Structure 1
C-alpha cells in the first residue's frame, strides 16, 4: 500500500515567529514544544521519517501534527476537546462553596479572621455540603469568579466635616493658586513631613552583589545599630529636597528643619512660603501654625485633612527613599545612614522633575460624591435589615 506524501508546509513570518517561541520557550509545555518543532522541520522541506529521527517522536505522531497544522494552522496544534470523566461535584455544591467564601468566617461560627482554601475545603466537608474535597479544587472554583477571600483591603470613611475645604486648599496650592489668586514668582509651596524609625541594621555577613542568574543576597541575621528620624521639606514646584536627620521627631526637630529651609534663598526673602503638613504631633493645630509664623513671618502652615496624608507630596519622595536608599537595610551605624540620605538628596536634586500630580478638585468632588452614594446605600441596607 503506497504511503501518502508528506503535506507541504509554508509558513508566514508571523507563524514562524510564533512557532519559534513555542519551540524554544522555557515556559512552553513539552508537548507544544515538540509539535512546534515538527512544523518547523516540515517547513524546511524535511520528510516525516527524518523529523521522527531528529525529534525522537513516532512517525505517526509526526505525520499527525504535520497534517493538523496543514489543515488548521496554529490552532491545529492544540488538543481537541475531550468529554472527560463526569464532574465529581454538582453546580449547586460549587455555588454553595462560593457563597460560603463570600461570608465572613465569624458569621459562620468559625474562629478565623479570613478564609483560606484549605479551611474552606475542611468547612465544606464538615457541613456536609460536599464529601472530601481538596483545597486546589476549591481554589479552581473561586478563580472562576475572581474570589480571593484570603486577601483583605483596609478603608476608612471621611468623617471630618471640613474635609473638602482643607483638601481644596492643598490641591489649589499644587496648582499654584491660593484663595482664588494665582501665586507670584516669589511664592513657594513646601511639602514637609517626617519618616520615622529608619534603622541601621548591620548584617552579620557582607551583602553579595548580584551575578549571573543571581539576585543580590542580603543576610537575614543583623545587629541593631539604633534608629533615627529623617525630616524632609520638598519644594513642590522646584522639585528640590532639603532634609535632616534627628534622633527623634518632635516640635524642636521640625522647627530645626523649618529654620534650615527658611534661612536659605529663595525662601528667606520670599513673599510667602506655604508649608503643607499633616496632623502629626510635631505640627498639629493652630499652635503649630502660630509658632511657624512667629519664627518666620513669611511662612504659612497649611494642614491636610485628617487621615489624608496621601495629599502630601513629600510622601511620594519618602517612597522613593524607601525603595532606593533604605531597602535592603544594610548599614554599619547611624552615621552611615545619615551620610547615605544626604548624598541621595544631592543626587535627587541634580536630576529630579516635579511630580505629575493629577488629582484635582474635580477628582475630589467625584470621590466625595461616590462616597456619599456609598454611604447612602449602606444606610438604606441597614434600615431595610432593621425593618425586615
Structure 2
C-alpha cells in the first residue's frame, strides 16, 4: 500500500486512492484526509467505502459501457476492404490511397455519413494497413533462375559443380558503376559544427561524368578498379586484363568472373571472348534481374555512401583520385563480406514468390469474373 501511495511511477488516480486508504488506517477523519490529499470529502467517503467492501481490488476503476459505437463493424470492414483495393480499380483518379482520401470516398459512397481521417487511420492500424506506402518489385523471368543463382551462391561458399574450390581458384565478381558526376558546387561545402550537419550548396556546375569499373575478390576482400570515359566491351576487358595479368590470378588454375547480363559481357560471345583471351578465366552470369546476387554491388553501395555522396568535386580528375585513394584505403583494412544467403534461403524465397504469384493470379481472375 505504501508503494502505491508514494511510488514515483504510480498513476495519479491510484496514488490518491491509496493515500486515502492509508491515511484512513492511521485513524484520520474524512475531513482531515480530504485536506491532506487535496480532494473533496465526498471522494474520501467513496473510496473508503469501496475499500471496506472489496479491499484493494475495489480501488480500481469499474467497467464502464463507454460511448456507444458510432460506426458498425460492417462499415469498418468496408473501409478496410476499400483500402486494400487499388484506386484505379475503383474508378478513382489516384495512384494510392491516403486516410483523408479514404474518408472522403467512404462518405461519397454512402458507407458512412462523415468520418475523420484519424478514425480511418485508427481502423487501418488494427490490421497494419498502410495503403499510402508502396514498394517496387520485379518478377522472375529467367527460366534458369534457380540454377544460375545456385551456381553463384555455391561459388561464394567455395564450391563449383559439387566440388570444393582449390587454394589456387578465385571468385571475382565485377560490374560497372556508370555516370559518377563531378558536380562543382557554386559555393564551398561547410564542415559540420555544433548542432549543424554538413552543408552542401544546392547549385552546381557540371564537370562531366565517369564510369567506375571494379572487380572484387570475394574471399580475399581485395578490390581492383579503374575509371573509364564510358562502359563497353573494351573497358570491361581492360579491367579483366588489369586483374588477370597480376599474381595470383595469372597463374591460378581458375578465376571465376561473376557478371550480370549487361551489354559489356552478355551471352556466349562474352564467355568465348574471355576464355580465348585468358584460358583460366571462367565467366559466370547472374540470373536476369538478379544483380543483388553479385557481391560487387555491396562494394558499390559503400562507394556511393563514402565517396560519391554528396557529389562535390572540382573536376573529373578529383573523382579519379578520390576513387583510387579509397581503393587503397579499403584494401588496407577490408574483410570479406559475411554473405549468409544460401541455396536453402533461395528455395524459401522462390517458394514465397510462387505463393504470391498464385495469389495475385487468383485475385485477378476473381476481379475479371466479377466484372
TM-score interval w.r.t. the shorter chain? 0.7 to 0.9
Task: Please list every run of 5 or more consecutive structure 1 residues that lacks an aligned counterpart in the other structure.
Answer: 1-6, 23-31, 40-57, 72-77
Q: Output aligned runs, 1:187-336, within 5 Å.
A: 187-336=169-318
Shift of 1:104: 0.7
SS in 1 for 2:207: strand
Aligned partners of 1:204 and 1:221: how far apart in 2? 6
Aligned partners of 1:102 and 1:381: how far apart in 2? 12
Aligned partners of 1:287 and 1:159: how far apart in 2? 22
Aligned partners of 2:161 and 2:245: how far apart in 1? 26
Classify 1:83/1:350 alpha carbon distance in 2 versus 1 (closer, same or farther; 3 Å).
farther
Shift of 1:315: 0.6
Shift of 1:319: 0.9
Classify 1:379/1:97 alpha carbon distance in 2 versus 1 (closer, same or farther; 3 Å).
closer
The TM-score normalised by the length of structure 2 is: 0.80
Shift of 1:376: 4.5
Q: Output aligned runs, 1:1-388, within 5 Å.
A: 60=38, 85-378=67-360
Aligned partners of 2:192 and 2:5: how far apart in 1? 41
Deviations 1:329-351 (A, max 9, x none): 22122211121111111111111
Deviations 1:278-337 (A, max 9, x none): 000110001111111121111111101111111101011111111111112221222111
Shift of 1:85: 4.9
Task: Find the structure with the greater CA-based Rg.
Answer: 2
Shift of 1:124: 1.7
Shift of 1:82: 7.8
Classify 1:132/1:374 alpha carbon distance in 2 versus 1 (closer, same or farther; 3 Å).
closer
Give the aligned length.
333
Aligned partners of 1:386 and 1:360: how far apart in 2? 39
Aligned partners of 1:381 and 1:8: how far apart in 2? 61
SS in 1 for 2:38: helix
Aligned partners of 1:79 and 1:60: how far apart in 2? 20
Task: Please list every run of 5 or more consecutive structure 2 residues that lacks an aligned counterpart in the other structure.
Answer: 17-35, 52-59
**Root mean square deviation, CA, Å:** 3.2
